[in-house]
Structure 1
């Protein structure tokens, strides 16, 4: 049995929504079930991923292929935040400009990994970038 990739814009839209939904549920699972409190940058990333799950769900229901107009900015800003978080986690951003305070969870703590050491900020970056790519493909395939 082979699984074919969704070729049409509706299938791509569905894939983007599933990715946003899975990312949202994973963030909630890590925070609420595993008890790992999100850092400041994680909160900001959630502020852009959670609405994507809702917006893309409505777009799937309505077959709204112009969703890229309002979902792409959310994915782009979320990707920039996740990139900054990934660079901070990797130690490429100086410690003195970290947005995380001493009282809350650290943005670059060793607890920021899952699945045997994959950094959560890198996973968030991948999810935002994939959603953005899918939205751009939808835009190209539905352009008049």
Structure 2
């Protein structure tokens, strides 16, 4: 019979899972721009500015098992999520498209993909930022007890 410590505990892998989410999001954004040829708008660039460093920081943290970094990751993921949410709403709510935060290049209310009628690139980024935020919120710092 297995003891509690021998059982697979998902909370022990939250840092690694957050890193995987950030890498998938980073590679997905590069796929859309470099392979598919979709030109990123200004809000897309701001989301990338928040996501790309997460791949590097979370990768190093997962490799070294450094879990005491919520104060660095959470602000980036929350700000990135807010940008993604605004961008998604700008695509889906016609009134918000009149605000026009994108003044140069591609308009921010253009959706290159629209899977199932609601899944757009900012929606995918929003899901990634939400997952990273939740996983980091569940990550136990180094030295925290896992029996509780």
Distance 1:41 1:26 in 2: 16
Report which of the two structures shows the higher radius of gyration computed on alpha carbons: 2
Q: Is the 8 A contact 2:67 2:141 kept in 1?
A: no
1:100 to 99, 102, 120: 102
In the TM superposition, residue 96 of structure 1 has moved relative to its aligned partner by: 3.0
Where does residue 89 of structure 2 map in the other structure?
Answer: 87
What does 1:1-144 correspond to in 2, within 5 Å? 7-9=10-12, 11-91=13-93, 93-101=95-103, 103-111=104-112, 113=113, 115=115, 117=117, 118-139=119-140, 143=144
Q: TM-score, normalized by length of structure 2?
A: 0.83
Cα RMSD of the aligned pairs, angstroms, is: 2.3
Which consecutive residues of structure 2, in runs of 5 or more, have no partner in the other structure? 1-7
Q: Is the 8 A contact 2:26 2:55 kept in 1?
A: yes
Distance 2:137 2:143 in 1: 10
Distance 2:89 2:141 in 1: 31
How many residues are treated as equivalent by the alignment?
138
Which consecutive residues of structure 1, in runs of 5 or more, have no partner in the other structure? none
Question: Residue by residue, what CA displacement relative to the aligned partner does 1:71-93 show, whole Å, maximum 9, x if unpaired?
Answer: 11110100010011011011255
Change (3 A) 1:142 1:23: farther
Question: Residue by residue, what CA displacement relative to the aligned partner does 1:37-88 show, whole Å, maximum 9, x if unpaired?
Answer: 1000000000000000000001011111112121111101000100110110
Q: TM-score, normalized by length of structure 1?
A: 0.85
